A and B are shown apart, each in its own frame.
Chain A
Amino acid sequence: MFKKLYDKYINLGILPKLLIYYLIISVVPLMIVGYIANKNLSETGFQALKRAEEMGKENLKAAEDVGKTSIADSVQALDRKSTEAIELRTVELAIRIADFLYERDKDILILASLEPNPKNYLDIYRASNRDVIATETRASTKRNKEKMTELQPRNPENKEAWRHLPPLDFEKASKPLYREITYIDLQGRERIKIADGKISNNLSDISKRENTYCRAEDYFTPLKNLKKGEIFVSRVVGTHIKGWLHKTPEGIKVKPESAYAGKENPRGSKFEGIIRWGKPVYDGKGEKTGYVTMALDHAHVMEFTDHIVPTEDRFTVLSDGGSGNYAFIWDHEDRCISHARDFFICGFDPRTGKEVPGWVSQETYDEYKKSGLTIEAFMRRLSSFRNFSQKKTSSIEQMKSGEIPLDCRVLDTAPQCQGWHEGTKDGGSGSFLILWSGLWKLTTYATIPYYTGPYGKSQKGFGYVTIGANVDDFHKDANITKAKIEKTIFEEGNEIVSANNKTRKLIGESASRNRRLITIISVIAGLAVIGVSLVISIHLTGPLRRLTEGAAAMSRGDLDQSIDVKSRDEIGQLAASFNEMAKAVSEVDRMKSDFVTIASHELRTPIQAMMLGVSGILEGYSGKVDNEVREDLDLAKEGIERLMRLVANLLDLSRIEAKKIELNVSSVSVTEIIDRAIAEVNDLAQAHLHTIVEYMPADISDIRVDKDRMIQVMINLLSNSIKYSPDGGRILVKAERKGEEIIFTIADNGYGVPAWAKEEIFKKFFQADSIMSQKVGGSGLGLTITKGLVEKHHGYIRCESPVPEGVFPDLPLDGERKGAIFIIHLPASGVSTA
């Protein structure tokens, strides 16, 4: 891995290397210092803050604990006081009701003592009135606190905790106590009847139930069975009025077509009912002559509870069943006989005289439906207070029918019923808490101690009063205090938290400021590093790169290189040296080129002189020549010719190397090139008994090349093949078009080229002899010039040896006849410019 990294490193340029060095020596230490400083600062700060927070939390918790304890204590105290107050109110209400009922006992006694005649009865009727609060007027019932404190005590010593409540200003209406007073004969027929404030002639036989109130009374038989001195008192009898509750987003509401329900439905029909008192009437001889009855308007009983609220309001015109704060009455058999919602009051169907069955749970209702019994029969069989639980849901069918009177004995969705029932069995009173509809409710109960007639059968007496109160409502003050304390604690806590947050923020800000500062410095340092590196790059690597490029260009043959470096530092000196060197090399090259040109020219002149002399003698212009002289002069002429070719080749090479060679491009027939080249070497080939085979497709196109130069190329290659083949060889010349190229192939079955020399042979002055077993004359420049000319034509040449199979299908290539093949690729489009 380190080796890899090292390899990567050494391959990096100077700029990245410098960047790395600078980063290591500047930014990294800066960041480390910054990190340590920042960390220490933050740690110290946050530790202090943590301690402060802990202390704050402790203080806050202590405050909270004190607050909670004191509130809990005060709430408990307030709850107890409130409970006691409501309990007392319930008990007193129950006593008042009992007293009221006892007064009715007195009324019946008076009536029974009077001679039964309409006038007496009417007098009594008219004398028996009682005020009720007029619910229709909807007078303001709220006593606000300002009004409460309006009246101030004159004596300052009374001022402490002075409270004054003005009298209730509810509008009241006088209402007859009795709906009817009757005298009934011994057979059960009405003889005198006072109803609606007058003597009624509508007399009927009340021994028959259908002739009674709501067709629901059975009082004749009990009357007959009364012993002397006994009074008959009936249960509450009245028509049950339907009611419907429905859920709305604001809570449960009473539908307007329902019975009267105080504030919830003030326009509904009120429950109307009676309680009948009766007593036998005796004449002067002590003979029972008949019975007197009086039907108490039940409104007067309901009046006791209808305006009670267990809150600081104390009384109200319209009670509110929805609030849960109201009073209600249950009879001795646990039936509801007074309620804020009148549809909850038990009653009868006046068409049939049948009692409307009490509201039960869905579970119980389903049980009834399965039983096959009539609802009355089922209700009679249903045992009282069976499995009461809030977990049960109310029967939907009953809700839909609107017949939902509350009969505690069967109201198995309301466990509090059982509590009241059990708490009043001994005639006592009390209270308990119940979680009702998500709110803790205090519910009080108190037996109505009225024990006349049938009500005297149990300690329960007439029944019981209950008051429901939301716990939160009656310790509202405590809750306000609690809220205040909590608010204070909360605010204090907030202050501590906010102070801590501020500190934290300050520390955070300070840390973040440091971080920012360090970041900025690091960034600046980084930028500086990059900048410095760039400057160095411009002054160091830039010139170096240019030097490299220049050197590379020089090696490619482009010798006119000059690096523009202004600085005089080492780099500048290097560039200057390079420039000098380039200049010198260029000069040397130019000199070499000039030398070759001049030399070749200067060489030609003496050669010309020799040529003239030798050729003139040989051709007999200088007199007769004998054979021996001729042979010697032939040798001399051959030498002159070789020298001449060498000079020509040197000149070509020098021009190719100097890239000064110019092509004389024209469209030339490929066949002509090859034919002319073959013609040129034919004598030599024949001298060595070589066969030249030409293969040329007929349709081969012309090619744009320098004709003479291409002929020269072909001659060079053919000469090569001739020279480097044992006598009697075969030479194949081929031209063909392949795609975008024209390919010339010159193959022979000569000595071949060893693998290592395939590239070398194109280098100048390559010693062909080094690969030959015998000496063959040659300048060592032919292939170099050939390659240069081919490349000048945008082509390339390569050599393969031995010759691939199939080139000479009929010739075995073995031993010294390995053969060589030269392949020239030229672009078919040729050379566009010279």
Chain B
Amino acid sequence: MEIQKILVVDDDKPISSYLQRKFAKLGYTVYVAEDGEEAVKQAFSNRPDIILLDVKLPKMNGIEVCKQLKADETTKSIPVLMLSAKAQSFEINEGLEAGADKYLCKPMSFPDILGEIRAYERK
């Protein structure tokens, strides 16, 4: 699977802008959404190849976003990697139950995050 477009959803500007810059530098097309509603909108409009989704978001949280995307035929095949500061097992379970393909706990190092994305590239 070819990954070219990455949707980064995070309301924390330093994180989202860092990821946007680094992924772009590596040749990816990066879309950034800072709230849940925006994330859903962009997922439909931009059709990213993978979504890096924070859970704690304004307007609509990551769980709800994931559920909506996984419920729709057009977006359901997009891998959703949740990246959240919520690291407790019930929170992880909640994310996986909402349909996330992977649940990553903050903090993650950039190489680790990149490794996770590249793991999907190879599939």
- A residues adjacent to B (C-beta < 8 A): 600-602, 604-616, 619, 621, 640, 644, 648, 651, 655, 662, 664, 708
**Contact between A611 and B87, CB atoms less than 8 A apart:** no
Bound Cα distance from A304 to B119, whole angstroms: 164
**Contact between B90 and A662, CB atoms less than 8 A apart:** yes
Q: Closest 10 A-B residue pairs measured CB to CB?
A: A615-B109, A604-B85, A611-B107, A616-B110, A608-B107, A608-B106, A609-B14, A619-B111, A601-B85, A604-B106
**Contact between A613 and B87, CB atoms less than 8 A apart:** no
Bound Cα distance from A644 to B108, whole angstroms: 10
Contacts A608-B15, A608-B106 given; does A655 touch B88 at CB 8 Å: yes
- B residues adjacent to A (C-beta < 8 A): 12, 14-15, 18-19, 22, 25-26, 56, 85-90, 106-113
User: Within the complex, what minimum Cβ distance (angstroms) separates A652 from chain B?
Assistant: 9
Provide 9 A-B residue pairs closer than 8 Å at the C-beta atoms, listed in order of the A residue. A604-B106, A608-B106, A611-B107, A611-B110, A612-B113, A613-B18, A615-B112, A616-B18, A621-B22
**Contact between A608 and B87, CB atoms less than 8 A apart:** no
Partner of B25 from the list A607, A619, A621, A662 (CB cut-off 8 Å) is: A621
Bound Cα distance from A602 to B107, whole angstroms: 11
**Contact between B18 and A609, CB atoms less than 8 A apart:** yes
**Contact between A651 and B88, CB atoms less than 8 A apart:** yes
Residues of A within 8 A of B14 (CB): 606, 609
Contacts A609-B12, A613-B18, A621-B110 given; does A601 touch B90 at CB 8 Å: no
User: Within the complex, what minimum Cβ distance (angstroms) separates B18 from chain A?
Assistant: 5
Give the total number of A-B pairs whose CB atoms are below 8 A apart: 69
Bound Cα distance from A616 to B14, whole angstroms: 14
Of A612, A614, A655, A662, most B-chain CB atoms within 10 Å = A612
Residues of A within 8 A of B26 (CB): 621
Bound Cα distance from A56 to B112, whole angstroms: 125
Residue of A nearest to B85 (CB): A604
**Contact between A607 and B107, CB atoms less than 8 A apart:** yes
Residue of A nearest to B11 (CB): A605
Bound Cα distance from A221 to B106, whole angstroms: 173
**Contact between A662 and B110, CB atoms less than 8 A apart:** no
**Contact between B110 and A615, CB atoms less than 8 A apart:** yes
User: Within the complex, what minimum Cβ distance (angstroms) separates B26 from chain A?
Assistant: 8
User: Within the complex, what minimum Cβ distance (angstroms) separates B90 from chain A?
Assistant: 6
Residue of B nearest to A622 (CB): B22
Bound Cα distance from A610 to B18, whole angstroms: 10
Contacts A621-B25, A640-B107, A644-B107 given; does A604 touch B12 at CB 8 Å: no
Q: A611-B107, A612-B110 are in contact. List 9 more A-B contacts (CB 8 A).
A: A604-B107, A605-B12, A607-B106, A611-B109, A612-B15, A615-B111, A616-B111, A640-B107, A708-B89
Residue of B nearest to A613 (CB): B18
Residues of B within 8 A of A612 (CB): 15, 18-19, 107-110, 113
User: Within the complex, what minimum Cβ distance (angstroms) separates A616 from chain B?
Assistant: 4
Partner of B87 from the list A604, A606, A616, A640 (CB cut-off 8 Å) is: A604
Partner of A601 from the list B19, B86, B110 (CB cut-off 8 Å) is: B86
**Contact between A664 and B111, CB atoms less than 8 A apart:** no
Residues of B within 8 A of A606 (CB): 14
Bound Cα distance from A601 to B111, whole angstroms: 22
**Contact between B110 and A608, CB atoms less than 8 A apart:** no
Residues of B within 8 A of A651 (CB): 87-88
Residues of A within 8 A of B86 (CB): 601
Contacts A615-B112, A644-B107 given; does A605 touch B85 at CB 8 Å: yes
**Contact between B22 and A605, CB atoms less than 8 A apart:** no
Residues of B within 8 A of A600 (CB): 85
**Contact between A601 and B56, CB atoms less than 8 A apart:** yes
**Contact between B19 and A662, CB atoms less than 8 A apart:** no
Residue of B nearest to A620 (CB): B111
Bound Cα distance from A87 to B113, whole angstroms: 159
Residue of A nearest to B89 (CB): A664
Residue of A nearest to B54 (CB): A605
User: Within the complex, what minimum Cβ distance (angstroms) separates B34 from chain A?
Assistant: 13
Residues of B within 8 A of A621 (CB): 22, 25-26, 110-111
Residues of A within 8 A of B88 (CB): 651, 655
User: Within the complex, what minimum Cβ distance (angstroms) separates B67 from chain A?
Assistant: 21
Bound Cα distance from A619 to B108, whole angstroms: 13
User: Within the complex, what minimum Cβ distance (angstroms) separates B24 from chain A?
Assistant: 12
Residue of B nearest to A610 (CB): B107
Bound Cα distance from A651 to B86, whole angstroms: 10
User: Within the complex, what minimum Cβ distance (angstroms) separates B47 from chain A?
Assistant: 26
Residues of B within 8 A of A662 (CB): 89-90
Residue of B nearest to A662 (CB): B90
**Contact between A609 and B109, CB atoms less than 8 A apart:** no
Bound Cα distance from A609 to B12, whole angstroms: 9
**Contact between B22 and A616, CB atoms less than 8 A apart:** yes
**Contact between B108 and A608, CB atoms less than 8 A apart:** yes
**Contact between A608 and B112, CB atoms less than 8 A apart:** no
User: Within the complex, what minimum Cβ distance (angstroms) separates B85 from chain A?
Assistant: 3
